[in-house]
Every structure is written in C-alpha cells, then in structure tokens.
Structure 1
C-alpha cells in the first residue's frame, strides 16, 4: 500500500486527470431511444472505472433489464473515449479498493443480463474498458477507434476476465500477441481478429442503436463470451511452447509477458471458465505484489510527470511560461541526424527547410528522406498519398536566406564547437528575432554556442537520439541565459513530435551522455583487466539492457565517440602515455580500433565482426581479442577472470553515482527526469524503473553506496567513483540506522 500511495502521488502530480473515486454522483446515465436503453458512461475525460462508475453501470443495466418496454441495451461512453480502464487513484483509498462491485462483478452483471447488451465503442478503449466490452453480448466500434490491453506494460495481466475471454473470441496466437504486446489495435484489425463484431461509420451511435434494434429479442446465451469454447487442436501445445520462447526472448527479464502467456494457457487447460479465472486471479495477485510491477508503474507515471517541467531554482517565471507556436522549422545538415530530425518535424505536420552546403549532400539527404517514407509505405504504416504529403513539407535549400521567417532552427552538423558557433552566428544574422536557435549537440557547451549570438535567451540544446525519427527521447538543454519561454517552446515542440521530452541543465555531455561516460569507461577497463566484449555485453543484456556497451558502440559507430574525444583533447600524439589522460586512467583501446578501420557495423567490423559493411549479426573476432591482449600487456595489467556481478556493478554503479551528481549540481531536476532519459535514450530495462529507481528500490541505496565506496578505494583516480554527497545524504536521511561508511 505504501508503494501504491507513492505511485498515486506521482500520478496526481502529473495532472493526468482528476480522481472521481470519491464522487457521489452517478457516473453512468440511462436513457431510452424507442425500445433501446442507452447506458452512457459519464466520467470525463476518459470514463475510467471508478467505484461510482462501476456501481452506476450495474444499476443502469439492472433498471434496463427490469423495464418491460426495453428490448435491447447499448453501452457507450461520452466524451472522447468509450472507457480507458481502471481508476488508479482508488489504490490509496481502502474504502474503495475493496468496495463492490469490482470490475469483474460488473462484467458478470452485464453478461448475465437477459436482454442483448451492445457495446458501442469509440476513441481508444483500453484495459478494463475492453474487459467491460467483453462482458457485452456484441461489440461494435467506430472505424477510427482502437482497443488495447496494456496491463503488461505496468507489470500485470488483464485481471478482470481478459486473459480468459480474449482467446474465446479470437485465435490463440492473436490472443497471445494482443495481450503480451499491449499494443493498440485498429478497428479494422480488431474486427478481422474476431473481438469486434462490426465496424461503424461516423454516425456510430445511430448505427449502434439500429443494430441493437435489429437483434432485440435474440437469445443471449450463445453470445456470452464466458460460455464460448476456446479453439484448441493438436497444434496448441506447440503454439504455447513457441510463444514462451518468443516472448521470453523479447521480454529480456520482464515477468508479466510470460505470465500473460501462462494465464492464456490456463484458458485452454481449465475444465471451466471459472477454473481458468482462478488462475488469472492468482497470477494477478502475484504480479501485483512484485517489484517489477512497482517499477513499471513508476515508469508509467514518470513518463507523464516529466512533461510538467520545472527548473531546480523554482523561479515562478518558469511556472507561467508559455511557448511560442512553431509554424515552420529548419534543420542544418542533411546527414543521418539532420534527416531524422527533419522527418520528426514533417511527420508532425511542420514545414521544414533541410539545409546543406552543396547540392550533392542535399540530394543524398533527400534520398534518405524518400527511403524512410518508402519503407513506411512498404510496412503498411502509411499510404502512398500520405508519404507524398509528408515529403511535400520538406523544403530543400542551399541558402540560409530562406530561413529568415522560420520559428525554430536545429543545427545538426558534427561535433565541432567552432563550426557550430559559426553556424549559429550566421543564423543569428538571418533569422527573425523571435526564432529559436537550437543545437543537436550531444556533449558541447550550450552557453559557449550562445555567446556567438546576440540572442542567448533564444539558444538551447535539443539533443535528439539516433535514429531521430524513431527514438522517443528528446533531451532539451537549458543554458544559463535561456528564457523560460524558449524552454516552454522546446518542451511543447517535443510533445508535438511525440517525444518524451526532458529538460536538463548545461554541463559537458548533459545528463544521458554524462552518465554514459562512467559506464563506457568501466566497460573498456574491464576488457583491459580480463573480460572480452561478448562477456561484458552478455552480463548487461542478461540484466535487461537492449544491448551491451560494445554492441551499442558498434551500432552507433565507434568513430562518433572518437571524434568527441578528439574534440576534448583525449586523442594524443603517438609516443605519449596512452594510459593516463588529464590525470585520470584512460584506455586507448577504442581509439586504436577506429585508427585500424574498425568503425562498427557500417565498416563490417568493430568490437565484433559483422561479415560485411552494414552487417548486423555480431561474431567474436580473434583480431579484437588479440588487440585487447596487447593493450593489457602494454598497460602492465595481468589479466584475470572477472565475475558477472563485478561487471554489472562497475558498469552500472558509476553511472548511478553520476546521476546523483547531476541532481546534486541541479543539472537534472528529479529522479524521474534521469530515469526517463535512460529508459527512452539508452534502452535501460523498463521493469527496473530506471537507474535511480533501481538503485533506491531494488538494490537499496546503502548497498549501492557501499559498493561505490569499495570501487572508490580500488580506483582512487577515477572521479566518478567518488561518492556523490547527495547519495550519502539520502542514505543518512532515509536509512538512519545503516552502517556508517
């Protein structure tokens, strides 16, 4: 209950909606249209299933059933959706959490009705809303509507008959896909799968009532989903065997998808619907008490909380700041990042100039845009006409003069301060005074860039992650002079681009890449000391990261980090000490690899061998192993076996310590900001909440601090192992009886 209370506090803080859990008024209305009773959910904005709503549904169905003039019933929602599921704000109210009717009771009451009940759905119907519809005898949906069972994303299963009813209205493979993916399904696909009986046009209510009239008096027994058989045959055991293997590989240590499969399997093995329902309930209770559910719910609410941005100084001006409308934009540089950012803009409907220094580079960029759009058409994500409409928003140009009226410019050239300052200075003289000048830099000083302009209040970082049109994170970087209005504009723009936008302060590498520094350094040091790339990566991937450090470096291109290190003066002339840089331990291994043509996947070889340029399947490369051995020997290091736990701690705990320093220095405003950066920018496993949540709630801060202190004594010349004072203070405050360290 304590965990639930903290989650709901975060929920309320994020202003997602106002709780209706304690409302006394009815949240469903009953009206009549001829012989059809219409029960309308009236709990705005999304008709969540609070106690008053649940009670109102049961009462309304009862009244309609008792009315002899009513021959059939329509259940629908007011506002922009049929029903978005449970009201999570009830979790902290014991009087309401256990107050009947529960959702499962509501679905049973609807299904038991002797008169046909037709769900007329519109908007996005999710979770308990879909389970409510499955209690109805017929399900109709507006053509633009979508449905989904996203419980898996918060560490749960659809626990109000969902896992037992879905495989009764569609094939088992489709049921497994729908429930384990949690994805939103279009009206057309839902109808094809079988969960929807009819797709409606724009006059969906009129059509829904007409349908209800047409089936008035029809027997409801055959339409009760709980009484329908599950379609099993001799291939069913193999279907589940393959499902477990596929889901386990994709889940990367997350439990709920596997338990979803188990609950669906129970529907095929149970002797009755009620017996299968008992298994669903047991699984729901088990997952609800687990640490993964808590972490996933925290991530769910944090994603929404970060959009309510603030800065650590708490100045009132930031609370009232309003961003300017972005009607047009420009991107400088038609490379991979520039094209990705341009795609993000035009897919959001923003006309965008794509600027390059010569026609050859510009044509290459435009060809990349066309390739992305063509791939989208091929994958069925958009029509040919939609692709053409999006491409028409791209405005290719070779001159900055065309940018004089745009609202936002994002420079996306390579990491070179002198070049970026030159570009911003030129833009400052061309663009209108209100235009925001943003840099896509991943490491460089925003304030120094701003100094090249006469409008430092209009300059900030907008750090997109590659590929920019796919990756959801946008790290917006405020400089010391960036105005609240500029910050608000960048945050609003990120939301419009459908990004998870996090506002951070200005320092070398900001938040994400700053924390990546200790992580990547320790991974390379582990290679020097005895590990191999596949061993380090395996530990990190077993933890749940999308890919290990070495594979990630190969994917991004090892030359990217090389250029950055060169910019900061870490790449030195031959003959100088390769293992000390600026007074700190340094490994030249990655530098040597780049200098030997091992750039990663694009070159066909990096930490791994990919067979050919652009190859994707990594293989252990004896040449890399030999190179690592030579580095160890030159550094005077005797190689040893390094256990998995040490690999995990050294890669993750230095990263976490740096996160606390970001908070301590007010570069990041909250734990949630940091966790969202790592969940959406670096593939941190969602079921652990993020690095800050993981440290506090899964490992425990005293244990984390103890191990950081240990590595600090082991490696006193590595500044990122010096414990953050904020971490020490939190351990003292939250664990006053912890051992003194």
Structure 2
C-alpha cells in the first residue's frame, strides 16, 4: 500500500505548497490528514512563509474521506472532532492565508478541506460536491456549515441531498470557487498569486464558517428547510440520514457556524450508526468486488482486446446492446433476417442516441461518430472479423440452436459466442455445436444501454479466457458484471420468480393489487410494485417466463390463474394500453376498475379463501415479508448451489437489476439484518395461513434453516458452499 502523506516546499515568492500525496486519487486517509495539519502548522511557524496553497498530486485534488475507514471503524466509522478543530485552527484560521488549488475532483471530505481554505481556485473540468448521503452519512468535516455560507441554502441543500456534484462553471458562478485557472499548468501560479494577494491585503481573507452574507434571512430559511424536509420524505421515505443532514444545517443557521459544527458531529454519529450507512457502504465495496473472481482474475491470464462485436437481432434488446457497444467505441455488426427488421433495429439505435443528445449526455457530433461504428448485415459474410457475437433473438430454443450451429462455422475458432437468454440453459443453446468452451451467457437487462448490470453465465465448459474477456468487455461498456452459474433464470430472474407469485397469491387471498404496489414501492422502496412491473414487462412475457419456473421448480411454485386470465383478456400491460393499470397516451398508469371481474375469477379458482368476504388482515410489514421472504428463500438456494461466487454478488445483482433498495444493502444483506430465524418463523406462519394448496411455496430451504438454527449470517454460509457451479 502506498504511504498516505503530504509533500512540503516553499517557493521563492514565499508561498508554501502542500501537496496531498496518496495515490491514486488522494483519498483522505487519517494519516494524510495528520500530515496535512502538521505541514500547515509548519508553514504557519515558518517566518519565510507568507501564504499557503494546498494542491493534490497526480493531477487530482481529492475524492473525499478514505471509504475503507468506514469498514475498519466500529459503528460505521466516526469523525474525529480533532479533525474539525484542526480545519478551523490551522487551515481556515491560522496566521497565514490558505488557498485550495483544485484539479480533477474535490468531493466529500476533499471539498470540505477545500472549503476550509480561505479561497479556492480550480481548472476547467473540475467537479465539486458533497456526495456523503449516497453512503448513508452526512458531511462530517464542516460541509453542512460552510457550503451554505458560500453558495446559499437552496443550492447547498440540493447538492447535499442529491449527492450530485457541480462542474467548474457552476462553482465559479455560485461562489464556491473564487478564481479559474485556464489550464492545469497555470493552476499553481494562479493559486499562489491569489494567496499572496490575500497575504498582502489586495484581496479579503474569508473564513467560510463565519460568513452570513450568502445565507437567506431566517424567515425565508425556515421555509426552505420545511420544503426540503417534505421533499426528502417524499423521495426517500423512511430514511433518517437526509433529515439528520438538514438538522445540522438548520442548527448552524439558527445558532452560528461553530455551534453547527458540534451539531454536525452529533448528526454524523447518528447517521453512521444506522443500518442504512452499513448497507450503502456494503454495496459500494460489493459492486467493486464483482470483477474479482478466484481462479480467473488472479491468474496470469490477460484479457484480449476485443474490437468488433456482432449482435444478432435488432429488437429492443439487441438494439440496446448495440447502442451500449458503440457508445464505448466498439465496432458493431448488427445482423437481422430481412431488411425491414434491420431498418427497425438501426432506427432504434438512432433513437437511443438521439435521446442522449436531447438529454445533454452527448453532442450530435458524438452521436454521429457512435452511429458510424455500427454496420447492418443480412448474412454472415463479415463474421470472420468479429471477436465476439452476442445473440439477442427471441427465447426460442430451436432458433437459438440453429444460430449457434451457423456461428460455429462462420466465425473464427477464437471468437466468443454468447447468448442474451434470460432463462434458457446455456448448454441447451449450444447443444448442436462443438464450441462449448467459447460459449457463454451475456444476459443484459432492458433497456440494455441503460441498465448497469451484466450477468455473465458460465457453463462447466466455458474457458477461463472467455470469462476474463467478457468481464473486460463489461467494464469497457460501463456495466457491472456478476459471474453466475448455469441454471434456469441464472441468479436474478431465478431469485425473483417467487416475487410476482407471492404478490398474485395475496390478490387471490383478497388483497387489492394497487395497495400491494403502494406498499412495495412506497414503503419498502422498490422502483415500482410487482403489478406495475408486470405491466412494464408484459403479461405475455410474464406467462412465458413463469412457465420456465413451473417446469424447473414444480415443487415450490404457486400457480395462479391471474396472469393467464390477463393474457386471455388481452391486458398485456403498457404495450396494449391496459394491464393491471390503464395507460394514457403518455404511458401514465392509473388504476382500472375493469380488472375486478378478472381478479374475482382468479380468486374463485384459487380457493385460498375459506370465506371470500373475509380476506386476511395483513399489516404493511406483513405484506412486505409475504412477498420478499420467499425471494430470500430462493436466494438461499442460489447461495447453497454456488450459482454466485459470493453472497455480495447477489446483493449487487438484485440492486442493479430489480432495483432492490441499495439503502437495504441488497437481498442477502437485508435478510441478515432481519435474521434467518425470524424469516423461517414467518415463512412457516405464511404456510399455515394459506393452507395445503400453497404451503410448499413457503417451505424454508435447508440452507436457511441451518442459518436459523446456528445463528450464523446467510452471507457467511455462502463462502463455505462446496457444491459450486462456478
């Protein structure tokens, strides 16, 4: 590990330059901060020093506090009050004026150190922000006090609650930075001149903590706080740390910056002790560990530099995959069976790019360059030049088998052959080839150019080189990869197959589908409830995918007539304009009373209610548990079978595909917070509630039962699994 330290030198003009030096990005390790304060004290005591400039090495200021420290410290990591005292005494209020010379990023603690200086200079392209709330904590080095005093309450609250950084233009306009250096090589000269101007009285020396001129009048400020609290509650129901952040800001406005620092420390400690913080830190590190696969990424193998990828199928999924590839400068061949389908696929790619242009994510010139990277094809004439093929046609086994038989003949022996199937056995797809060592699953989630997860499905024959190359491709197209074993539904779809089944069972038991959606989305925090999700995906797709699980796991499924009836009545969801919800021209969903006869028919055929007029009375929490505990149960089976490399991978997969709340740490992390023993108890209670017709759906698996009996965490057992499919 590199040493966390600072470098000290005094220039001929009398400016001491202190350089943060902790590769690669100068994260604020406690030792780095200690060295910074020691050198600041040294500069203040040196009579030859007139002013101080703090700058970062490796062309970057600092991305913030070293997040690894949150793992190392009990209770989620505390902020030493001595750090805040040092910022106030030797960075902001020492005898010599200080300037932060910022390049790259100044985020979190990095920006807080910069705000502790008496002025800030940055270069074009610099990003500045306080993203601490995205880790379940609040700014802890004075950010809740100094940022409002530099740029005002409205913008500072917005920056903190959204965790969104701003660019140099906005920072200069708002007053977060005081001057702009035209280029990196001019950063230090501009910063040194600014520092000397303060030292010699040509510019005012400002102590941010004491400023009040940018703060709104108290009566107006109180209105801003009231609105911000309502918005935070609406956007993040049940989360405490946004309110704790607002508590600290408001206390400082009402009682002064010094008192606000004390309140900030108290609020930080409270936030750091919450499960939300632990969950978000867990996901932060888990996401970064999915690319580390024992026996693959720790060997002498090196990824090959794939350049050209062919995509077979230009539908919504295929065009999305092609878009993701060309956005990352891959050359793409998009193959279709006829010109009409090919034109449709190319049109979808253009539409995807145009959408990015409209949103300001790229320029028209950049979109034109990206589009030039894709070439349409109706045959395999150019497939000898491709490094990888991603098949993205409909879920039809004979069709996929024919395509892979053709690909074996039409591609080079080293070309990777991948399928985007979401549920079909990968071995079955390549059954009619002799290329099993180069066949892999590349399961994207729709829309493929937007969704961040890529399930890489390994069979017992897939070569390590192919896996490594696919892992590398995922990074290059900005996807988070999760390596999974080959089974029906792989990891995500398999784990979540009980999700809709449990929701349908509740409807068959007499509950209202719209109320269920409100609980799952509004209270638990999913992006949408199971019935709104069904309408987004389509009841026809749901019926097709559901059949795969009925065939594969007949002993533990719940067979409802609700989805088949929706198909019979042509209520397929958004695509047909009506499903469980009805949709207007802008696809806005609203409840539809016309589904009640369908629900009644499904309830009657289910026969779960002894008295149809008396459905069970379940609390919101019981609805959540009824739907998610079977999902946890299936997740435990996936762990026990070694379908994922580690439990944290399943946490990442559930967050990045299904939108399981990151604030709960992913499926298994959340289940461990709840406790295996409680989950088993509730599953058994639900089995008793529904009776023999559906009781097997809730039967706890051996892995879950073992954890409940022993008291161990579910994630601990995963690392000891011996029946791995990886």
Distance in 2 between residues matched to 1:679 and 1:125, nearest whole Å: 28
> What displacement does 1:661 show?
0.4
> What displacement does 1:135 show?
0.6
Matches within 5 A, 1:336-485: 336-485=316-465
Cα pair distance change 1:108/1:486, threshold 3 Å:
farther
Counterpart contact for 1:55–1:101, Cα < 8 Å? no
Per-residue CA deviations over 1:521-556 (Å, capped at 9, x if unaligned) read 111111111112111111212111111101111122
Distance in 1 between residues matched to 2:326 and 2:499, nearest whole Å: 35
Structure 1 residue corresponding to 2:560, chosen from 587, 591, 596: 587
Structure 1 residue corresponding to 2:675, chosen from 687, 690, 700: 700
Counterpart of 2:234?
249
Distance in 2 between residues matched to 1:352 and 1:393, nearest whole Å: 6
Counterpart of 1:295?
279
Per-residue CA deviations over 1:632-670 (Å, capped at 9, x if unaligned) read 123334331441333212210100011110011111121
Structure 2 residue corresponding to 1:635, chosen from 603, 606, 611: 606
> What displacement does 1:415 show?
1.2
3-state secondary structure, aligned to 1:504: strand
Does residue 225 of structure 1 match 2:202? no
Does residue 202 of structure 1 match 2:184? yes
Structure 2 residue corresponding to 1:282, chosen from 257, 263, 266: 266
Does residue 710 of structure 1 match 2:685? yes
Structure 2 residue corresponding to 1:111, chosen from 68, 77, 92: 92
3-state secondary structure, aligned to 2:184: coil
Distance in 2 between residues matched to 1:416 and 1:666, nearest whole Å: 27
Structure 1 residue corresponding to 2:506, chosen from 526, 546, 549: 526
3-state secondary structure, aligned to 1:474: strand
Does residue 726 of structure 1 match 2:710? no
Cα pair distance change 1:695/1:564, threshold 3 Å:
closer
Distance in 2 between residues matched to 1:712 and 1:379, nearest whole Å: 49
Counterpart contact for 1:107–1:134, Cα < 8 Å? no
Matches within 5 A, 1:548-587: 548-565=529-546, 585-587=558-560
Per-residue CA deviations over 1:138-197 (Å, capped at 9, x if unaligned) read 112221222221210111000110011111111322111111111232222322332122
Cα pair distance change 1:103/1:441, threshold 3 Å:
farther
Distance in 2 between residues matched to 1:403 and 1:553, nearest whole Å: 37
RMSD: 2.6
Counterpart contact for 1:137–1:220, Cα < 8 Å? no
Does residue 600 of structure 1 match 2:581? no
Cα pair distance change 1:61/1:735, threshold 3 Å:
closer
Distance in 2 between residues matched to 1:129 and 1:521, nearest whole Å: 47
Counterpart contact for 1:116–1:219, Cα < 8 Å? no
Distance in 2 between residues matched to 1:253 and 1:49, nearest whole Å: 31
> What displacement does 1:104 show?
4.9
Unaligned 5+ residue runs, structure 1? 1-17, 571-579, 737-741
Distance in 1 between residues matched to 2:223 and 2:239, nearest whole Å: 22
Distance in 2 between residues matched to 1:733 and 1:582, nearest whole Å: 26
Counterpart contact for 2:561–2:605, Cα < 8 Å? no
Distance in 2 between residues matched to 1:495 and 1:704, nearest whole Å: 36
Does residue 164 of structure 1 match 2:152? no
Structure 2 residue corresponding to 1:672, chosen from 624, 648, 666: 648
Counterpart of 2:17?
38
**What TM-score, normalized by structure 1, do the two folds share?**
0.89
> What displacement does 1:335 show?
1.2
Distance in 2 between residues matched to 1:115 and 1:327, nearest whole Å: 55
Structure 2 residue corresponding to 1:87, chosen from 66, 79, 101: 66
Per-residue CA deviations over 1:699-736 (Å, capped at 9, x if unaligned) read 11111122223344556656553322222222333359
Structure 2 residue corresponding to 1:621, chosen from 582, 592, 599: 592
Cα pair distance change 1:395/1:206, threshold 3 Å:
farther
Counterpart contact for 1:326–1:493, Cα < 8 Å? yes
> What displacement does 1:672 show?
0.3
Distance in 1 between residues matched to 2:102 and 2:525, nearest whole Å: 37
> What displacement does 1:100 show?
7.8
> What displacement does 1:321 show?
3.8
Per-residue CA deviations over 1:294-351 (Å, capped at 9, x if unaligned) read 11111111111222124xxxx5797444322111212111111111111111111212
Counterpart of 2:721?
none
3-state secondary structure, aligned to 1:37: strand
Distance in 2 between residues matched to 1:181 and 1:290, nearest whole Å: 19
Counterpart contact for 1:377–1:387, Cα < 8 Å? yes
3-state secondary structure, aligned to 1:400: coil
**647-656 or 233-242: which moved more?**
233-242
Distance in 2 between residues matched to 1:489 and 1:33, nearest whole Å: 52
> What displacement does 1:114 show?
2.9
Distance in 1 between residues matched to 2:170 and 2:402, nearest whole Å: 52
Cα pair distance change 1:710/1:352, threshold 3 Å:
same
3-state secondary structure, aligned to 1:726: helix
Distance in 2 between residues matched to 1:93 and 1:70, nearest whole Å: 37
Counterpart contact for 1:152–1:182, Cα < 8 Å? yes
> What displacement does 1:279 show?
1.8
> What displacement does 1:253 show?
2.8
> What displacement does 1:75 show?
0.5
Counterpart of 1:688?
664
Distance in 2 between residues matched to 1:693 and 1:388, nearest whole Å: 43
> What displacement does 1:673 show?
0.8
